[in-house]
Homo-oligomer: A and B are copies of this chain.
C-alpha cells in the first residue's frame, strides 16, 4: 500500500462514504418513482435503481476494504498489510455498465425486436469493454495498462458509434417533449464514460504513488455518481415526460407497433 498522509486517507474515505450515500439515496428515488410512470417505463426505472443499488453495495464494500487497509497506530496512519480490494469496481462495472445502456434503450420505448437487438449488442460491448480494462488495472507495469486500456477503447468507440449513429433515427422519432432529454442522456453517457479512461491512463503516465492513488479513487467516485445517479435522474425525467405524452396523445410521432 502507498504511504498516505492523513489528509489523503480522509479524502478518499469521505469520497467513498459520499458515493455510498448518494447512490443509495438515488436508488430509493428511482424505485419510488416507478409508481409515477406508465407501465411501459416501469422496467426502465427498476433497472435504473438496480444500477445505483449495485453500485451502493460496492461502495459500502470498497469503504470497508479501505478502512481495513489502514489503521491509526499510536496516532499515526499505517498500512495494515490487508490489501485494498480495487477489484470491486470492476465487479460492479461488469454488472452496471451493460444495465446503464439497457435502461437508455428501454426508456426509448422502441419496438420489441429493436429493443432486444440493441440492448443485447450494447450490453455485450459494455461487458467486453470492462473485462478488457481489468488486466490493465492490475498490471504491474504502465505498459500493461496502456495495452489493455487501448484494447478496451475498441468496444468503447463502437458503443459511441452505436449511440450517435445507430440511435439517431430512433431519437428523432421520440415525442418532442422528451427528445431533448434523450439526446442529453445519450451525451451524458458518452461524456461521463470518457472520464474513466482519463483516470485510467493517469495511472499509466507515471503519476505513481499516493497522489495517483487518491486521484484514481476520487475520480472514479465522481464519475460513478454522474454516470449512474445523474444519468438515472435523466432517465426518470424522460419516463415521466413520455408517460405524460402517452396520456395526452402527443406521443404519436412514434410509429405504432
The residues of A with any CB-CB pair to B shorter than 8 Å are 6, 10, 13-14, 17-18, 21-22, 24-25, 28-29, 31-36, 39, 42-43, 46-47, 49-50, 53-54, 57-58, 61, 72-75, 80-83, 85, 87-88, 91-92, 94-95
Contact = CB atoms under 8 A, between A and B. Distances in A.
A85 B50 contact: no
A29 B46 contact: yes
A53 B25 CA distance: 8
Nearest to A57: B21
A54 B21 contact: yes
B10 A95 contact: no
Given A14-B88, A25-B53, A72-B82, 15 more contacts: A10-B87, A14-B87, A14-B91, A17-B61, A18-B91, A21-B57, A21-B92, A22-B95, A24-B57, A28-B46, A29-B47, A32-B34, A36-B39, A36-B42, A72-B83
A218 B34 CA distance: 35
Contact of A33 (B10, B43, B82): B43
Main secondary structure of the interface of A (DSSP, over half): helix
A4 to B, nearest CB: 14
Number of copies: 2
Given A72-B83, A81-B74, A91 B58 contact: no
Given A17-B91, A22-B95, A10 B57 contact: no
Q: Tell me which of A21, A31, A75, A81 has the highest count of chain B C-beta atoms within 10 A of its own C-beta.
A: A21
Given A13-B85, A81-B75, A32 B46 contact: yes
Contacts of A46: 28-29, 32-33
Nearest to A34: B32
Contact of A72 (B24, B29, B39, B81): B81
B10 A85 contact: yes
Contact of A25 (B33, B39, B72, B95): B95
Contact of A91 (B6, B21, B39, B42): B21
A187 to B, nearest CB: 18
A77 B34 CA distance: 46
A216 to B, nearest CB: 18
Nearest to A50: B25
A42 B14 CA distance: 31
